[in-house]
Amino acid sequence: MIRISVTSKLDGIRSWSLQALETCPGSIAEPATHSSPVVLVDACKGCYATQGNYRYPNVKAPRIENREDWKREGWVDDMVKALDSDRYFRWFDSGDVYAIGLAEKILQVMQQTPWVKHWMPTRMHKFVKFQAILSAMDALPNVKVRLSSDSVVGQYVKGLHGSVIVPDARVDPDQVTLCRAYENNGKCSGCRACYDKAIPVIAYPAHGRSMAKVIRLRLA
Ligand code: SF4
């Protein structure tokens, strides 16, 4: 069964999601040595999808079920039908496209729903075997794949990353497009910049106490 989530932030735009961190191999920082403990990259240390409402069983359940559901025959057809009335769609409000088989199926859904503008943030570009399929998705006229920078202090690679976290709203508008959801109670309020292929990099001002702590440590 297709399980779609809706977050109030996105103006009611729907999303297909998985559990954060356990489907996010790109959230793990390169270990210093083989025996080093697992450490998350800065951007994932204060992950919103591991806090607040995301800890409730009714929010976790569809994300856990989706991890099995995508493997069944007929999932692509069912997703295409489920998107019949959508004009915008966000992949992975939480979680990431952790398996090549899932990426191949999502590509098919994107190809078969040209009436939908798809936005997919991801860190899977760090793994060479995912790069070709992410490029194939992004080459579609109705898809924007945003490769996320790991930085929380605005550092990104031009021409590679499509989004980055910044400590506050003081950004160079010639370089990045600022997400202004913070001016609208955390809601998109009609903005659709993340879905827009013409916008190379979105800068998201950090929010939340845990992210503020990560930034303090990084800027110290
Ligand atoms: S940049 Fe626009 S579309 Fe993207 S999250 Fe912010 S308000 Fe929403």
DSSP the chain: ----EE-GGGTT-EEE---TTTT-GGGBPPPSSTTSPP-B-HHHHT-GGGSGGGGSHHHHHHHHHHHHHTTSTTHHHHHHHHTTT-SEEEE-SSS----HHHHHHHHHHHHT-TTSEEEEEESGGGSHHHHHHHHHHHTSTTEEEEEBPS-SSS---TTT-SEEEESSS---TTT-EEP-GGGGTT--TT--GGG-TT---EEEE--SHHHHHHHHHHH-
> Which residue has the least CA distance to atom 6 on ligand 1?
179
For the segment 34-77, what is each residue's pLDDT rounded down to a tens digit? 787 888 999 998 787 777 777 777 888 899 999 999 999 999 99
Confidence of residue 150 (pLDDT cuts 50, 70, 90): very high
191 touches ligand 1 (CB under 6 Å): yes
Pocket test for ligand 1, best of 194, 196, 197, 201 (most atoms within 8 A of CB): 194
State whether the beta carbon of 192 lies less than 6 angstroms from ligand 1.
Answer: yes
Ligand 1 centroid, distance to 35 Cα (angstroms): 39
Contact 202 CB / ligand 1 (< 6 Å):
yes
The pLDDT-based confidence of 208 (bands split at 50, 70, 90) is low
188 in contact with ligand 1, CB cutoff 6 A: yes
Model confidence over 15-26: pLDDT tens digits?
999 999 889 999
pTM: 0.92
Is the CB of 181 inside a 6 Å radius of any atom of ligand 1? yes
Instruction: Please indicate whether residue 194, judged by its CB atom, sits closer than 6 Å to ligand 1.
Output: yes
